[in-house]
Structures are given as structure tokens and as C-alpha cells.
């Protein structure tokens, strides 16, 4: 069983990541200050068949961190953990019980706020990684949580500086550890609808990124061999037009189901104009995947590369369609149903991770999942699978 250490695991993103990883077969070692919250999370995970333990650690206290590291190392030496497979540094300080540490001139911050913010956001991750590197398995991962800081660092410089330092640590470690096959990446989310964010900014919470979405990205990275990247998650990966066109692709998937084929559909759009929309057909017909069919139709229609086009697909594209989209010039794909929610042996030709392929491309191709439309798109997929299994 793989073992993952998660700091900041008592609430928010850390809690969501702990639940996601436990659900996917990891033993999760939860790290935070609140033993009551950690204990409840461990109980919840175990009640669902997962494996979890917790360590109560004050990440502002280097002696406390040292004690935690000694316990983990002793467990590794005793064979209780077969090494460490992931270190996920999620903890950070941007508020206390009374205020948010933002909208302030640097000179007005208390010295303890500054030092504690640096300790939790940068020093603790550095010490944890440093102490546990000898016990990390080949193919293991380090993922550090940063932030997008879309308006810059003004007003919350301690938090900003701690996260930017953590990003530099990420890049440096990725380069240093590549020959050891230890993969180091960062995740940089926009405003996230955690309990604390909702408490302090209730008026913005409904538009913020869900912790569960960020947890999914953690899992995606853990399943890949990418290294040296900072993955950005913005509040608005998509707009109302994206929803409109994706619904059109889903309607095509419903039409496909009515025609007796697998329920998948695709739409290609350029400058607000629909260039092609297609359904699936039955194998072995050529281009039986709707994404590939739409690409061919759009190229014939425009008589040029699809450089300024976007592909909308009811399901996450397979590796073949993803490659075809890339070589056709498409750089953004919006989809509804995630690959992990359907059996790849039936619906996909491979269980290889898409991110491994994306890393091979010279240019970035953006995959955007509109989670709110997944249930709308997956109903007939499930019905088709039940009928044809």
C-alpha cells in the first residue's frame, strides 16, 4: 500500500485530498494541529474501508517537526510503512481566529505572523522533505500547494512570499531529484471554497474552486510521471458559452445512444460559430469516435489547421482523439465525463494517464472539465454499459 503524508489535513483542501487518496488506495498520514478534527477524519476514512493515521504537529515549531519526522522514520525502519510515496505540503497561514492577513501594508504585520507564515508555508515543507528524502520510494511524488495571486502580492506579502519561495523549492527539487525518479510538482489554485474561505468571504464562495476539484488534480499528478510543473487552477476555467457548447455535445451523445451507438458526442467551435458536431458510430467504422469525426469535418470545412478552434466533448477524449486534436492545432478541450468515472477497458483503449501524453507535446493543450454537467452526460453512458456488459 502506498503511503502519503498530507499537511494541513484537518480542513479544506488537505481534508479533501486525504479523502480522495484514501478512496484510491493510499494509506494517508494526516498532519495538523487539531487532534479532534484529525481523529474524526481518520474515523470517517476507516469507516469506508480506508487506511489513515494522524500526527498532531505544530508546523511553526521545529522541535515538533523533528519529533514527527522521527516517528515516521521509526515506522519506516520498523516496516510499518514500506517507505514514503508522497509528501503533499498543503498547510499555509493566511488568517487566524480574528482576522485575515490580507489588505495590510507589510510594516503593519506582527513579527510572529510573519515568522509563523514563513515557517508553515516554507520552512516546514523544506524540513519535512529534507528529513524524509532517504525514505522516499522510487517513483514517489512531492506536491507543494501554492496560489495564483492574480492581483499580485500587495496586501498579504508574508503569505505571498512563503508560497513563491515554495514554488522555487519545487523547481529546484524537481531538477535535483529527477535522476532518483522522485517527481516534484506544485498546484496553484485560485480562491478555493474551503470552510475558512467561506467564513471570511461568503459573498465570493459560490464562484470559488471546490476543494474536491483540487483533490482530483492531486490524484491526477500522483498517477503521472510529470515533474517540475506548477499546475494552475483558476476560478473560471470556462464561461457560459463553454457550457452552451458542451451541452450541445452532450445532446449529440444522447442522439448517438438513440441511434444504437455508444453515447458520445463532440462539437468544434471557431469564433463563436459551430463548425462541426458529431455522434459516435459503431466500430469498426472509420472515425467511430465523435471527436475524430468532428476534427475531420472541421478541417474539410475550413481547409486549414484548427488553431483557433475549441473542441467540446461529452466525455474526456481518449489518447487517440487527444493526439489527433493536438496535431490538428486544437489547444483547448472542454469535456463533461471524467475518464476515471467509466471503465477504461470498455470505453477507452488504454488506462494510461493523459498527463503523461500531454508532457510529450511541445505546446500546451488545456483540458477543462465542467463537472456540473457530468451527471447530465453520464446517465446514458451508464445505461449503455449496463446493456452491453
Residue 176, classed as helix, strand or coil, is: helix
Residue 55, classed as helix, strand or coil, is: strand
Which of 167, 203, 291, 386 is flagged as catalytic? 291
Cα–Cα distances (Å) from 361 to 47, 101, 179, 304, 364, in that order, read 42, 40, 21, 20, 7
Residue 308, classed as helix, strand or coil, is: coil
Cα–Cα distances (Å) from 56 to 6, 51, 182, 384, in that order, read 12, 17, 26, 48
* Calpha distance 287→377 (Å, rounded): 21
CA atoms within 13 A on the CB side of 154: 2
Spatial contact of 292 and 243, defined as CB atoms under 8 Å apart: no
Cα–Cα distances (Å) from 113 to 56, 162, 304, 329, in that order, read 21, 12, 57, 48
**Does 291 participate in catalysis according to the annotation?**
yes
Strand partners, 267: 277, 312
Phi, psi of 121 (to 5 degrees): -80, -25
**Dihedral angle sign, alpha carbons of residues 76, 81, 82, 86:** negative
Active site residues: 291
Amino acid at each position: 500500500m502506498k503511503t502519503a503524508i498530507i499537511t494541513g489535513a484537518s480542513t479544506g483542501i488537505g481534508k479533501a485530498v486525504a479523502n480522495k487518496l484514501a478512496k484510491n488506495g493510499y494509506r494517508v498520514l494526516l498532519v495538523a494541529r487539531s487532534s479532534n478534527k484529525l481523529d474524526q477524519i481518520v474515523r470517517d476514512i476507516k469507516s469506508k474501508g480506508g487506511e489513515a493515521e494522524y500526527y498532531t504537529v505544530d508546523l511553526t515549531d521545529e522541535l515538533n517537526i523533528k519529533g514527527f519526522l522521527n516517528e515516521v522514520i521509526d515506522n519506516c525502519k520498523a516496516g510499518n510503512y514500506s517507505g514514503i510515496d508522497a509528501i503533499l505540503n498543503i498547510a499555509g497561514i493566511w488568517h487566524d481566529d480574528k482576522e485575515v492577513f490580507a489588505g495590510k501594508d507589510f510594516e503593519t504585520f506582527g513579527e510572529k505572523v510573519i515568522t509563523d507564515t514563513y515557517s508553515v508555508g516554507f520552512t516546514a515543507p523544506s524540513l519535512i522533505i529534507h528529513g524524509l528524502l532517504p525514505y522516499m520510494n522510487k517513483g514517489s511524488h512531492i506536491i507543494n500547494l501554492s496560489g495564483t495571486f492574480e492581483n499580485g502580492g500587495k496586501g498579504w506579502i508574508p503569505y505571498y512570499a512563503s508560497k513563491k519561495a515554495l514554488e522555487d523549492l519545487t523547481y529546484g527539487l524537481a531538477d535535483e531529484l529527477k535522476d532518483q525518479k522522485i517527481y516534484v510538482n506544485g498546484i496553484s489554485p485560485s480562491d478555493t471554497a474551503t470552510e475558512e474561505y467561506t467564513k471570511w468571504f461568503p459573498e465570493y464562495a459560490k464562484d470559488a474552486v471546490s476543494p474536491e476539484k483540487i483533490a482530483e488534480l492531486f490524484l491526477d499528478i500522483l498517477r503521472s510521471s510529470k515533474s517540475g510543473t506548477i499546475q494552475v487552477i483558476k476560478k473560471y476555467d470556462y464561461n457560459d458559452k463553454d457550457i452552451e457548447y458542451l451541452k450541445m455535445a452532450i445532446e449529440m451523445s444522447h442522439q448517438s445512444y438513440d441511434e444504437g451507438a455508444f453515447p458520445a458526442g463532440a462539437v468544434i467551435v471557431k469564433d463563436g460559430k459551430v463548425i462541426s458536431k458529431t455522434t459516435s458510430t459503431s466500430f469498426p467504422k472509420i472515425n467511430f469516435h465523435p471527436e475524430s469525426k468532428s476534427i475531420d469535418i472541421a478541417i474539410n470545412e475550413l481547409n486549414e489547421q484548427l488553431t483557433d478552434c475549441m473542441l467540446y466533448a461529452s466525455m474526456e477524449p481518449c489518447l487517440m482523439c487527444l493526439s489527433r486534436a493536438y496535431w490538428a492545432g486544437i489547444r483547448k478541450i472542454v469535456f463533461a465525463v471524467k475518464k476515471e468515472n467509466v471503465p477504461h477497458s470498455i470505453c477507452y483503449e488504454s488506462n494510461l494517464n493523459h498527463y503523461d501524453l500531454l508532457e510529450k507535446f511541445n505546446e500546451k493543450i488545456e483540458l477543462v472539465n465542467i463537472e456540473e454537467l457530468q451527471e447530465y452526460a453520464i446517465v446514458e453512458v451508464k445505461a449503455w454499459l449496463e446493456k452491453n456488459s
